[in-house]
Structure 1
Amino acid sequence: MPNGKPPLFVVVSFDGAGDLALWARWRAVAKQVNARMTFFLSGPYLYPEDHRTDYKPPFHKPGASEIGWGDTANVLARTTVLREAIAEGQEIGTHANGHFCGASGIGKWTTAQWTAELNAFDHMVRTGPTLAAGKTVAPPFDPSTVKGMRTPCLEGNRAAYRLAMAKRGMLYDASAPGYIAWPKKVNGLWNFPLESVTLAGTSKKTLTMDYNLWYAQTQARKAPIAQAPALRAQVLATYRAALAQSRAGGNPPLFLGNHFNRWNNSVYSDALTDFVKQTCTQPDVRCVSNMELASWLAKNGVPSGHNRPS
């Protein structure tokens, strides 16, 4: 470890991973700065709507989904994009399927129900492109290579779903809130949290997730476009302060979560783009996927003396 410090890992990840234009955008950004990122894919984005009742989620009708389903054109286009992104070194994780949040959502699911949900994800990946095309199409990836999950809305009984993940051979959970600190294993998995930070120029605490930043800024309401430059600058300043906090505390990883979205006049996608371009080329920084970080930790362990929140 140069200068006695581990690398400063910046881990950028996305939920949903369906929008084709945003796939093009983030692949281009990653190539520009030699970054690898993690894309948490929602199963229905690879599964055609006319076969939706194959999916039987707990406590919901067959075919229920809060995020819709695919059609022939976008399922096949996503299949191609996923293959290309994986070839470029990007990681695919799972964001589960129906995106059920709140009182009737995933919070009450058992380990057995989570196992069924993960199996349904595998089935959508393996068979969705063929069903959409009406002829045999190879799946975009082998679902057994998926080693991490971010749960919808960051919800769910963690012990229950992590047991299902561990039994499946998965390695990390990216769902829980946490702090800027070296990760630990919890329930047999690496816990890669969305970290608590202070919104720049305020005393507000928020998480390093675009929706949470949006809520902290404008209560998740769209602001007038004239405010977009200032809001974007505030998010960028928040990321920079978090990076400085990591450097001051022994270089624990910085986890940044986004959605494939254009929320609030694209403030959060634009601020993250700026940060990635400015940061990932810095000599002590490595912009990596969650799995690259997990592999580094498996090889090197958690650096001693640097495992407390900073």
Structure 2
Amino acid sequence: MSSLVRAGAIAAFVSSSTLALAEPGQSFVKSADPQYVLISFDNSNGIAEWKRSRALADMTGARFTYFLSCVFLIPRDRRASYDPPSLPAGKSNIGFAPSRDDIAERLTQIWGARNEGHEIGSHACGHFDGKDWSKADWMSEFRSFRTTLANAYEANGLGGEPAGWRDFANFGIKGFRAPYLSTGPGLYHALAAKGLAYDASGVSREPQQPDRSGTVARFALPQIPEGPKERRVLAMDYNLFVRHSGGSERVDEGAVFEDRAYSAFMRALDKEMAGERRPLQLGFHFTMMNGGAYWRALERFAAEACIRPDVACITYSDYLGRTETAIADGDVGG
């Protein structure tokens, strides 16, 4: 099924529902105590995936968190402007932007998503394993991220910088996810020093409430039952990719991978709704693994789950804001 046909099918599904958007781009009316779902994307590089995810959000009322890698705001001919910790300038594990035109379009997508109520978070810059980095190393990486984002228009000779862009870049980034989910003491010291509100780099056996005991709230991606034997796997597309095909690209014959992923997402949601009502976190990348099987599973999941009046698919920061009072009052459900 082509992406256009699939998008049309999702739109038809939503429009045929008894629920309706208040107006385009707004969330569905929700219950006072919904089941929360937090859907995120790491790296956030591909323009096609920006458009596809924003279209899905518009159709379903979901709001996503995009953890951005700053190297995709630096063209290859300016790569030496990025100086990663303990490595030569211009190094990156995930490359750089192919052109300034590509960066201009990405900036348009970032600003558009932000204005639609999505969240832009940090995935650092060069996608390095920083588990052994010191606080100073991480502070340097965070400075690179902030400077690259704030100066993205000017440094690349691009016009049309939106009013408020630099305030957004300097003060609007509240969350972080570490590349490879690799963390260490240096990271947590730096996160607190930079005033970030949360880290989404943890891993847990099952969905759980974020740990709010410190200055920085800590979220953990859950391991959820998957497949015929219901073995647990991290609720992220890459881990499903490794589970299903050993990390090698394969044709998804009969949509087997897609169906397994979709079923795992729905079972995890149903379990929380019938039980402890902890937030369900699902992680993705701007990569079409196994022919896009996991994006198709996400689209089916969002089209069914996110439109429910008792489910709210929201950003990490929105979740913290909505539940802060409940936590203070001792009500940790949802």
Question: Normalization by structure 1: what TM-score?
Answer: 0.90
Structure 1's unaligned 5+ residue stretches are: none
The DSSP-based 3-state class of the residue aligned with 2:313 is: strand
Give the counterpart of 2:235 among 198, 203, 208. 208
The residue type equivalent to 1:261 in the other structure is T
2:141 corresponds to: 117
Mapped partners of 2:239, 2:116: distance in 1: 30
Query: Deviation at 1:196?
Result: 1.1
SS of aligned partner of 2:201: coil
Q: What code does the residue aligned with 2:102 have? A: N
Partner Cα separation in structure 2 for residue 197 and residue 171 of structure 1: 26
* Deviation per residue, 1:229-279 (Å, 9 max, x gap): 111111011001100121132211000000011010101111011101110
Q: Which runs of 4+ in 1 moved over 3 A?
A: 134-141, 302-307
CA distance in 2, matches of 1:223, 1:123: 39
Contact 1:5–1:251, Cα closer than 8 Å, also in 2? no
- Is 2:117 the counterpart of 1:93? no
Give the whole-Å Cα distance in 2 for the aligned partners of 1:148 and 1:265: 30
Partner of 2:6: none
CA offsets 1:210-243 (integer angstroms, 9 cap, x no match)? 111111222212223425x111111011001100
Selected match of 1:174 from 190, 200, 216: 200
**Match among 154, 171, 193 for residue 130 of structure 1:** 154
Q: Which residue of 1 aligns with 2:100?
A: 72
User: Is 2:38 aligned against 1:11?
Assistant: yes
Shift of 1:134: 5.9
Q: 1:143 offset after TM fit, Å?
A: 3.2
1:279 corresponds in structure 2 to: 305
Which of the residues 246, 254, 258 maps onto 2:280?
254
AA matched with 1:64: K
* Aligned-partner SS, 1:192: strand
Greater mean alpha carbon deviation, residues 128-137 or residues 13-22: 128-137
Question: Quick one: distance in 2 between partners of 1:18 and 1:222?
Answer: 20
What runs of 5+ residues in structure 2 fail to find an aligned partner? 1-30
- Asked whether the 8 Å contact 1:6–1:251 carries over to 2, the reply is no
RMSD of aligned alpha carbons: 2.1
Q: CA deviation at 1:50?
A: 2.3
- How far the C-alpha of 1:305 sits from its partner, in A, is 7.2
Secondary structure in 2 aligned to 1:198?
Answer: strand
Equivalent of residue 195 in structure 1, options 222, 236, 243: 222
| TM-aligned CA distance change 1:244 to 1:134, over 3 Å | closer
Structure 1 residue 54, shift from structure 2 partner: 2.0
Q: Residues 262-301 of structure 1: matches in 2 within 5 Å? A: 262-301=288-327
Task: Please say if residues 13 and 38 of structure 1, whose CA atoms lie closer than 8 Å, have aligned partners that are also in contact.
Answer: yes
Greater alpha carbon shift after TM alignment, 51-60 vs 285-294: 51-60
Alignment partner, residue 175 of structure 2: 148
The 5-angstrom pairing of residues 50-61 of structure 1 reads 50-61=77-88
Of 37, 40, 61 in structure 1, the residue corresponding to residue 64 of structure 2 is 37
Q: Residues 122 and 266 (structure 1 numbering): CA distance in 2 closer, same or farther, change over 3 Å?
A: same
Residue identity opposite 1:131 in structure 2 = A
Inter-partner Cα distance in structure 2 for 1:193 and 1:270: 24
- Do 1:30 and 1:36's aligned partners in 2 also have CA atoms closer than 8 Å? yes
Looking at structure 1, the residues matched to 149 and 89 of structure 2 have their Cα atoms a distance apart, in angstroms, of 18
Q: Which amino acid aligns with 1:79?
A: L
Equivalenced residues, count: 299
Report Cα offsets for 1:179-199 as digits up to 9, x if no partner.
212222254221221101111
Cα gap change, 1:182 to 1:122, in 2 (>3 Å): same
